[in-house]
Amino acid sequence: MNRRFVRGRLHRVAVGVLALLLIVPAGFAAPVLAADPVPCAIPAPVSGTGRAAVETGLATLVKAIAACETAGNWQAYSTLVTEKYLEVTYGGGNPLSRTDFMSLTTGLPIVPVRFRSFDDLKIIRPGEARANVKLVLANQLIFEQWNFREESSHPGAWLLDASTPLTPEPPRQHDDLDLTISGNAYSPATLTAAQANIRVRIANSDNTDHEVLLLGLATGTTIGTLLLTAGPGLPPGFTYMAQLTVPAKAKGTLVLVNIKPGTYAMVDLLPDSSGIPYLASGTQGTLTVSAST
């Protein structure tokens, strides 16, 4: 499940809204790439404090988190992250216990999360580390810096403690598109691409945050249905593909991968000052892709 989508949807509920072997320079370790699957389970404690042991253990933790998100196993997921992470990522900075987090996850759509790489590990101090992580969430390439903390009461047991978005680089074969958000509208409202991998460079010139939520629609499904659906999930007929929130007067990059040919909806379900999704004001558009993956 795309945590960015989840955190946005859970926040809306809280406010009552409806709605990558590489040639590596000397001195740098090779990145841990996707390999054998890791199950959604608490990893074995890291056996040692050396860099290699910590790197292997944390990469396994990242893969386990991805597996739990893919399975929609939020109970297991919540045991792999700290409550601080839950508070910042899903609670908007407000206190959020694991129990309270679980009460908010009912009905969330399940989205595949695929591990791509774990790189640039830095041991900050004993019990604290950070690394760069690449994942593919549905059809979106995610690049983030993750901070990890070892539990003081359980030596060798590490948890995800914080994440910071980084700018992802698209695959070599890709199309570049530009999108501006102004006056609560996407411009252009219609985007087209000839490649299955796409980088969308987004500029938000408004004084409020906006999002670009990319959805697949089944035949006969209409966008208006989103405005009639309560809770954090998507109504039947909608498939989550990608999401990016762009703060006011800021820019963002959305990297899409393996998009099949077709036309997809772009919408903004973030609430305006009245609590109404911007979609109701016409913040919507389409992306048409003509290439095969």
Mind listing the pLDDT tens digit for each residue in 214-249? 999 999 999 999 998 877 788 999 999 999 999 999
Quick one: pLDDT band at residue 127, thresholds 50, 70, 90?
very high
| Mean pLDDT of all residues belonging to the chain | 88
Q: Kindly report, residue by residue over 137-153, the tens digit of the pLDDT.
A: 999 999 999 999 999 99
The tens digit of pLDDT for each residue in 42-100 reads 999 998 889 999 999 999 999 999 999 999 999 999 999 999 999 999 888 899 999 99
The whole-angstrom separation of Cα 9 and Cα 238 is: 15
Give the alpha-carbon dihedral of 234, 238, 243, 245, to 10 degrees.
-50
Topology annotation, domain 3-165: Nuclear Transport Factor 2; Chain: A, (3.10.450)
Pick the CATH number of 175-289 from 2.60.40.420, 3.30.720.110, 3.40.50.10610, 3.40.640.10: 2.60.40.420
Segments making up each domain of the chain, as ranges = 3-165, 175-289
Q: Is 36 exposed, middle or buried (CB count within 10 Å of its CB: 0-12, 13-18, 19+)?
A: exposed
* Radius of gyration over every alpha carbon of the chain, rounded to an integer in angstroms: 19
